[in-house]
Amino acid sequence: MGDTQDWAAGPGAAEQARSVLATAWSCQVTADAAREEYVGAHSVTEDGEVLLRVPEDSALLAAALCAPRGEPSAVLELADVAPVPVRRRIRARLWLAGWFVPADGPLLFRPTRVVLRRPSGAVLVDLDEFSAARPDPLAGAEAQLLTHLADAHPDAVERLTRLVRPESLQAATRVVPLAVDRHGLTLRIERTRAHGDVRLPFHTPADNVTQLTERMHALLAQASAAVCPRTLQRQRADGDG
């Protein structure tokens, strides 16, 4: 089981839903009695409608063409998967209920209900807010940014733990970067049988990678001025011994 999570400032539900929709690589679709999974087959319009490319022999395509009024009800499920290997790697799930509109080329899906499930629980996203929202500006680069931080700069990750409350580091066995968005960085604190997530908010949002670099340098400067948590000091000493 995961611990209670301290998210601090973070993206709103509509923005996070659009980020999941924009970056998820696979999409599971249920329509009528058909249930299929597509990989790398969907794209998103500016207002949040989904274009899905399906093969001609797809049961989903048949359901879309044969349904009354040509608009079958359907549910799309997408998962937000952490790019860095961690326990419980799915960070959020997104469900879109709505209608497929048969058309030449990709099927057009119009959502009528949007549900985002985060570790803190499920939330029904307002359709107007969903349509108007845009993905987090760092969403497309997040996977590369986090894997680089974890693989090339483990010393920086360790330094950032100085900004975490000591009680959150009790019995910690590993700390890895779990997520980053324009509002802040999230660290996953793993223990032998549990884990917890802690957000380190930026002083102001970062709208591009250049600004993110500045925000990260500010966090590291803040961490350098902080006292290393005693819990982590003891763990390193025990490991060295």
Structure tokens at 110: 């119009």
**Rounded CA separation 89/2 (Å):** 11
Positions of CATH 3.20.180.10 in the chain: 139-240
Q: For residue 26, how far is the Cα from the chain centroid?
A: 14
Q: In the chain, how long is the greatest CA-to-CA distance?
A: 72
| Least confident stretch, 82-91, 103-112, 213-222, 230-239 | 230-239
- The predicted pLDDT at position 63 comes to 77
Positions of CATH 2.30.110.10 in the chain: 13-132
- How many other CB atoms are there within 10 angstroms of residue 238's CB atom? 8
Instruction: Give the N- to C-terminal CA distance of the chain in Å, as an integer.
Output: 30
| Sequence-ordered strand ranges (E) for 66-129 | 73-81, 90-101, 107-118, 121-125
**Rounded CA separation 183/192 (Å):** 29
Structure tokens at 84: 């860095």
Paired residues of 82 in beta bridges: none
Dump pLDDT digits (tens) for 37-76: 999 999 999 999 999 999 888 888 787 777 666 566 899 9
13-132 architecture in CATH? Roll (2.30)
CATH of 139-240, one of 3.40.640.10, 3.40.50.300, 3.30.465.10, 3.20.180.10: 3.20.180.10
Dump pLDDT digits (tens) for 152-197: 999 999 999 999 999 999 999 999 999 999 999 999 999 998 999 9
The amino acid occupying position 4 is T
Give the rounded percent of residues in the chain with a pLDDT score beyond 90.
Answer: 73
**Rounded CA separation 218/236 (Å):** 25
- The predicted pLDDT at position 90 comes to 96
Nearest to 81 by CA among 73, 72, 91: 91
Report helix, strand or coil for 202. coil
Phi and psi at 39, nearest 5°, equal: -115, 125
